[in-house]
Amino acid sequence: MTKSVAIIGARGMPVGKIQSPPDAPFQIVEHEILAQLVASAVGESGVGKEMIDALVFSEPHVYTRQKYFSTFMTSYLGLSCHGAVMEVLGNGMTGGLAIDRAADEIRLGRARVALALGVNMETATPATVHMNITLRATGDVDFHSPAGFTPISWYAMDATRYMHEYGATRAEFAAVAVKNRRHAAMNPLAQFRGPLNIEDVLASRPIVDPLTLLDVPPRSDGAVCIVLACEEVARELGRPYVRMRARGSYHEGVHQVSDRPNDMIAFNAAATASQSAYADGKISAADVNVSEIYAPCTIVEILVTEALGLAPRGGGARAAVAGETALGGRIPVNTSGGCQSRGHPARLTPLYNALELFEQLTDRAGDRQVKNAELGLMTCELGNYNAALVHILERMS
């Protein structure tokens, strides 16, 4: 009843400002954008549409006019399925759950080919409207939401604590943003590709101290389609593919910021989930060649690299400054440009991470290609990394 799962195709649209204002004379329609990506990704994979038996969507934002999006989209594509046709939602983990659930349909023998896909439109929605919805979606209605305790506030507290514990500086945080912008400059899907230096990051306007505008993610629109198949199908196609080698997950029973004493910068869920994934794949952190991390802010990338064992505890900031997490370094992290520069259509970010690893592990990443990459790791999260989902992908000839 358990089959090995492969990724055989992946396409995404350039991240940026795509959503139409309500009063625009011409409207960008989500299902039309996504249909084009599905056709492109499935065509690239080499399978026929009759082989697709499951579609798992990241639930689109409330701003999407078409409701019950999954069944509408399946109809629009002209597909009929024996497996699941559904939407999933888990805030920052949404795209990762879509991949997980699509893979489950294959593992259980319900589908030979499944799609994990979605569209995220939000940039034309007023910031006040979006923030109010975000606070209700991510916060605790008894405390976080009434207090206006935003997600960036959690991460700013992490940054302050990390500076206190390890003597890190704002310039070291800025080094992460600069590194990610260098990577994004080579990624045609990235939202921001222009030059950036440490001084630019430090001089950008404050958001929540000590984080500035260029430490945090932009609002972003995007769309992605990942084509998964049982490994037998992938082999029959005779093309390079990526195998889903291992996974791990953990929810520590906390909603956003813990109300119990804890080590707030240990990111215990990411550490626990990654250890499960390493054990599942019979590997260690040292075997990973490239990593795409769900890290909305610069401090989050630093803390997650430490939790995953890609950098020593307290050494994540120094690793970024030393170039260890850059292309050509010991363990390249966020070769796509990460959330700050590739962009952060939040419900799709894990799908964009999977797309980047698919391109890296099939030698399609162009100038940002990590040489001889065999194993890639991707993460996604809930809250202040109070839950984490880790996938390890493997190059297959």
| Residues 286, 269: Cα–Cα separation, whole Å | 19
- pTM of this prediction? 0.96
Asked if 348 and 222 count as a contact pair (C-beta separation under 8 A), the reply is: yes
Tokens 């994004």 locate to: 184
CATH number, position 228:
3.40.47.10
CA distance 333 to 320: 9
For residue 44, tell me if it sits in a domain.
Answer: yes
Residue 314 CB-density burial (10 A; 0-12 exposed, 13-18 middle, 19+ buried):
middle
Tell me whether residue 54 is in a domain.
yes
Per-residue pLDDT of the chain in tens (397 residues, 90 and over written 9): 578 999 999 999 999 999 998 889 998 899 999 999 999 999 999 999 999 999 999 999 888 888 999 999 999 999 999 999 999 999 899 999 999 999 999 999 999 999 999 999 999 988 888 887 877 777 777 777 677 778 899 899 999 999 999 999 999 999 999 999 999 999 999 999 999 999 999 999 999 999 999 999 999 999 999 999 999 999 999 999 999 999 999 999 988 777 778 899 999 999 999 999 999 999 999 999 999 999 999 999 999 999 999 999 999 999 999 999 999 999 999 999 999 999 999 999 999 999 999 999 999 999 999 999 999 999 999 988 999 999 999 999 7
Residue 77 pLDDT: 97
With beta carbons less than 8 A apart as the criterion, state whether 347 and 94 touch: yes
CB 171, CB 198: distance < 8 Å: yes
Task: Tell me the C-alpha distance between 284 and 390, whole Å.
Answer: 13
| 394 assigned to some structural domain | no
* Number of domains into which the chain is organized: 1
**Size (the chain), residues:** 397
Q: Is residue 12 part of a domain?
A: yes
From CA 241, how far away is CA 248, in angstroms rounded?
Answer: 21
Strands 85-88 and 375-382: unpaired
In a domain, 353, yes or no: no
Q: How far is CA 381 from CA 243, 301, 354, 360, in A?
A: 22, 12, 14, 22
C-alpha 121/C-alpha 136 separation (Å) is: 18
Given this model, what pLDDT does residue 128 score? Answer: 84
Give residue 75's domain range.
Answer: 5-124+220-237
Q: Does some domain include residue 48?
A: yes
**What pLDDT is stored for residue 145 in this prediction?**
66
- 90 token code pair: 């888990």
Is the preceding omega at residue 296 within 30 degrees of 0, hence cis? no
The reported pLDDT for the residue numbered 231 is 97
Distances (CA, A) of 109 to 87, 196, 237: 20, 48, 19
Cβ pair 92, 344 in contact under 8 A: no
- Tell me, yes or no, whether 231 lies in a domain: yes
H or E segment at 8? strand 5-12
Whole-number pLDDT of residue 349: 97
Phi, psi of 23 (to 5 degrees): -95, 10
Would residue 40 count as lying in a domain?
Answer: yes
| Residue 208 dihedral angles phi and psi, to the nearest 5° | -135, 120
Q: Determine the residue type at 33.
A: I
Residues 6+ away with beta carbon under 8 Å from 205: 212, 213
The pair of three-digit structure tokens given for residue 68, joined into one six-digit string: 């019950």
Q: Which residues, in sequence order, are CB contacts of 374 under 8 Å at separation 6+? A: 289, 361, 394, 395
What is the C-alpha separation between 249 and 108, in angstroms, rounded? 19
Cα separation values, 252 from 249, 299, 302, 307, 385, Å: 10, 21, 20, 14, 9
C-alpha 55/C-alpha 113 separation (Å) is 9
- H or E stretch covering 175: helix 170-184
What tokens were used for 163? 């500076």
